[in-house]
Amino acid sequence: MPYRWIALAIALTLTDMTQAHDVTKTSAPAVQAAGDDDNLWLDDIDGAKPMAWVKAENAKTVAAYAQSPAFKTLDARLLEMLDSEARIPAVTKIGDHYYNLWRDKAHPKGIWRRTTLAEYRKDAPAWETIIDVDALSAAEKENWVWHGVQCLRPANRRCLVSLSRGGADADVIREFDLTTRSFVKDGFTLPEAKTQVAWIDDDHLFVATDFGPGSMTESSYPRIVKEWTRGTPLASAKVVYEGKPTDMSISAYRDLTPGFERDFVQRALEFYNSETFVRGKDGKLTRIDKPNDAEVDVEREWMLLELRSDWTVGGHTYPSGSLLAAKFDDYMAGKRDLVALFTPDEHTSLAGHSWTRHHLFLNLMHDVSSQIRVLTPTDTGPWTSEPLGGAPELSAMEAYGIDADDTDEYFLTVSGFIQPTTLYYGVLGQGEREALKHTPSFFDASKFVVSQHFATSKDGTKVPYFEIAPKALKADGSNPTLVYGYGGFEISLQPAYAASAGRAWLEKGGVYVIANIRGGGEYGPRWHQAAMKANRPRAYEDFAAVSQDLIDRKITTPRHMGMMGGSNGGLLAGNMLTTYPQLYGAVVSQVALLDMKRYPHMSAGASWMAEYGNPDKPEEWKYIQTFSPYHNLHKGTRYPPVLFTTSTRDDRVGPVHARKMAARMQAMGLDASFYENIEGGHGAAADNKQSAFMSALAYTYLWEHLK
């Protein structure tokens, strides 16, 4: 679903206290007045003066941290890992082939390629290149970054390719013919915009894009969706639905499942709050009767509803976090015969679900470790349920159907922090699954041990965290320790192979910690909702509790402990810097929100007000200002050194937050370093080389200050 995609996309994907002292109790924050901002000149993202400042700051940071032999060795080792031919090529089945976007040293921008299942089973499959993004970029003199493709089922001849200039969220859409392996002359083409597009049939698309002034929401996403006919001007496309400027986004799509073709329109009001409509052949929209915060999934004859609040319907009350099923046509006709497929408890939540032709996978988390169940629908009553094997302790498993239209084939991934990922292939009901691919070991895991601990937060909540440490660890407080967190938008930090952290941190003798703080989805919607808006500081109290627990257990001391986070986690980093400076020896804040007074007016910030609140309302600014790092710097307070990293092409959060925060700290005489990648989008890197550099910079900065 489009709003679900946006929610997941906000998270920065990295390759890999019993009672904390509250500094605000002893030092009143010097909150900046709303109109008193001497760094507004940095808002001009591509302006000559701001870019001169950016380049000067980049040069200083590179000179200080990216010139040593140790940095260059780490940078090269991380790039070697990212470019490794032994990585698992993640594939998507389209028709009879399995497709993959592959980047390596020879193809830094990537090649979109395909193979067969028989070839994919081999150690060295034979791949057929379909689109060479590097060659395309060179031929068109554009810095194209691949952003995906969607093909028209079931023929899968025509596809819509999304290409971004430099990695921004805004894409150019171009029609591609898989049979001729070429872009379609005079085919469907859309100029650069934050576009949401979907096939209806060979000659029609649903298009939500920038149609001109007033057609985008205040969140910078499309406000209008239209039906566009091949061979006609986009301006003549017929309006399907028009939302309000205050909505987050509007989109439409066709379920192309043979025999179950249906059109849906979605009005995303805010994150995890949407209305979904079924569009009839006459164009009439019928709203699906559900709570706005429930996510709906329609597959063949079934409709699933994932709840984010308690819901009483049909004489039953279903708790938040439940997954319910109903026959779609019956439900739309007014029947409310719901079956509860999953009900959460204090330790177990739903991480996701995926269909095969006849079955449904439930990917569950029990205290953040994985469990999987296979459900089989029945016409009446409870669905049958069986476990899909067991996961190794403190690891993550995910099962997902390969082609729900036709088969019960599935892929299964199994991974742990020190356990390289294994990809399995299986067919439900047809014997044991087979191990197809293995991620190579990028560091010697035999030297390390993974453990899970629980810290007690300020309000008594038990907060889990994972610790990856040397087996020979001495609890003497001297260990360089890096704590990573996110804590927002119901995004969970589950175990995953820590390849980059292994090479960049663990091999040097450091301890690596993942904090599963509130705001995330580790325990379902309740865990997320516990740190929204006025309760946002609970996430920071949780992170402080984890940090203090590491100190109390004598794993480390503030002198040797650092923290890092990106995007919403970058806001976390900013708040740990300003509210708990006594806990850390260094901080890295990546592609972060930091100015919470002006964030709704910067890039896509207006879309996050359901998470943080609206600072333009005085009653909400009253609590938001307590977690706005830009406004909570104290003259005379000692802060740990901090590195801010961002990207000029980040059109989601934007680089202005990091620019202004670094500039303000520097003006106060504080140790604040800054690096802005000129391209890369919200991930701050457009290719493997840039990714390796950005990771090496962050790890080197922390190690230099914490060793």
- Residue numbers annotated as active site: 567, 682
Query: How far apart (Å, rounded) are the C-alpha atoms in residues 526 and 385?
Result: 25
Q: Is 707 in contact with 188 (CB distance < 8 Å)?
A: no
Q: What are the structure tokens assigned to 436, written together?
A: 């197809």
Number of helices (H) and strands (E), helices first, in the chain? 14, 39
Nearest Cα to Cα of residue 642 among 542, 693, 572 = 572
Query: How far apart (Å, rounded) are the C-alpha atoms in residues 571 and 578?
Result: 11
Task: Give the strand pairing for 434-438 and 448-456.
Answer: unpaired
Q: What are the structure tokens assigned to 564, written together?
A: 């890092």
Q: What are the structure tokens assigned to 548, written together?
A: 């203090």
What torsion, rounded to 10 degrees, do the Cα atoms 41, 46, 48, 53 define?
Answer: 60
Return all residues near 542 (Cβ < 8 A) that are at least 6 apart.
Answer: 455, 457, 461, 463, 487, 515, 517, 518, 531
Residue entry with tokens 């109790």: 25
Query: How far apart (Å, rounded) are the C-alpha atoms in residues 697 and 55?
Result: 16
**546: helix, strand or coil:** helix
**Gyration radius from the chain CA atoms:** 25
Q: What are the structure tokens assigned to 243, written together?
A: 């939302």
Q: What are the structure tokens assigned to 478, written together?
A: 């001297």
DSSP string, 157-174: -EEEEEEEETT-S-EEEE
Return all residues near 89 (Cβ < 8 A) that are at least 6 apart.
Answer: 100, 102, 125, 437
Burial class from Cβ neighbours inside 10 Å (0-12, 13-18, 19+) for residue 241 reads: buried
Q: Which long-range contacts (CB under 8 A, 24 or more apart) does 341-345 make?
A: 341/304, 341/375, 341/383, 343/318, 343/319, 344/319, 344/320, 344/523, 344/524
Query: How far apart (Å, rounded) are the C-alpha atoms in residues 159 and 175?
Result: 6
Bond into 464 cis (ω within 30): no
Backbone phi and psi for residue 603, each to the nearest 5 degrees, phi listed first? 50, -125
**462: helix, strand or coil:** strand
Q: Which long-range contacts (CB under 8 A, 24 or more apart) does 49-52 make?
A: 50/659, 51/648
CA atoms within 13 A on the CB side of 638: 6
